[in-house]
Amino acid sequence: MPSAVKLRSDYTPAELRRLAASGKHANQSRRLLSLAAVLEGRSREEAARIGGMDRQTLRDWVHQFNEHGPDGLQDHWYKGPSCRLSAEQLSELADIVETGPDRAKDGVVRWRRVDLKRVIEERFGISYHERTIGKILKQIGFSHISARPRHPGQKAETIAAFKKTSRPR
């Protein structure tokens, strides 16, 4: 049966509780309180329950604490991959979206994500998923607002004649 992981002893339980109380991150504070309970001599199961985790997770945080100290108990979120389009390419894409498609050249009357995906592949040689195209558009300042479709042969006089209005009181 494996032995328990030793917790570094350069911090007292009171110091860990003080760090937990003064910390700005709730998850780090919970982990510090669990480690303070371990240093006080409570069982690993009870200390894990204090922090809202199981014993294996507590063991993982003990390793982080032993290696990096209290700062190792903070959450380190991955920001995701960086954009494959350069700043110049993003500004060119913004100009493309702003000017709109050319019906003769592009074959569409308004941009959709699938159309922009094709344009990005043709111009820049970078392939994205349609969902990512929406994220890129949001990143460069565009929102998902589409104009109400209008038939090319539509006449303003006909619309005004059929428009419903309320009766005057």
Q: Taking the complete model, does pTM exceed 0.75, yes or no?
A: no
Based on the fold, state whether residues 100 and 51 are members of the same structural domain. no
Q: Kindly state whether residue 107 falls inside one of the protein's structural domains.
A: yes
Q: Kindly state whether residue 102 falls inside one of the protein's structural domains.
A: yes
Q: Kindly state whether residue 32 falls inside one of the protein's structural domains.
A: yes
Local confidence band at 1 (pLDDT 50, 70, 90 cut-offs): very low
Both tokens assigned to 169: 């009181």
Based on the fold, state whether residues 94 and 134 are members of the same structural domain. yes
Q: What's residue 146's pLDDT? A: 67
Based on the fold, state whether residues 17 and 69 are members of the same structural domain. yes
Based on the fold, state whether residues 131 and 91 are members of the same structural domain. yes
Based on the fold, state whether residues 55 and 100 are members of the same structural domain. no
- Contacts for 57 with CB less than 8 Å, ≥ 6 apart: 48
- Contacts for 49 with CB less than 8 Å, ≥ 6 apart: none
User: For residue 134, how far is the Cα from the chain centroid?
Assistant: 14
Q: Kindly state whether residue 166 falls inside one of the protein's structural domains.
A: no
Q: Kindly state whether residue 117 falls inside one of the protein's structural domains.
A: yes
Both tokens assigned to 142: 């565009």
Q: Is the pLDDT of residue 7 over 70?
A: yes
Q: Which domain holds residue 131?
A: 87-145
Closest by CA position to 115, among listed 81, 85, 105:
105
Secondary structure class of 130 (helix, strand, coil): helix
Q: Kindly state whether residue 125 falls inside one of the protein's structural domains.
A: yes
Based on the fold, state whether residues 94 and 141 are members of the same structural domain. yes
Q: Kindly state whether residue 5 falls inside one of the protein's structural domains.
A: no
Based on the fold, state whether residues 94 and 59 are members of the same structural domain. no
Q: Kindly state whether residue 169 falls inside one of the protein's structural domains.
A: no
Based on the fold, state whether residues 69 and 93 are members of the same structural domain. no
Q: How far apart are CA 69 and CA 19, in angstroms?
A: 11
Local confidence band at 2 (pLDDT 50, 70, 90 cut-offs): low
Residue-wise pLDDT tens digits, 94-151: 999 999 999 899 889 889 999 999 999 999 999 999 999 999 999 999 987 766 777 7
Count structural domains, the chain.
2
Q: How far apart are CA 16 and CA 39, in angstroms?
A: 9
Q: What angle do CA 35, 40, 45 make, to 5 degrees?
A: 60
Residue-wise pLDDT tens digits, 37-77: 999 999 999 999 999 999 999 999 999 999 999 999 999 88
Domain end residue (candidates: 73, 103, 118):
73
Based on the fold, state whether residues 132 and 99 are members of the same structural domain. yes
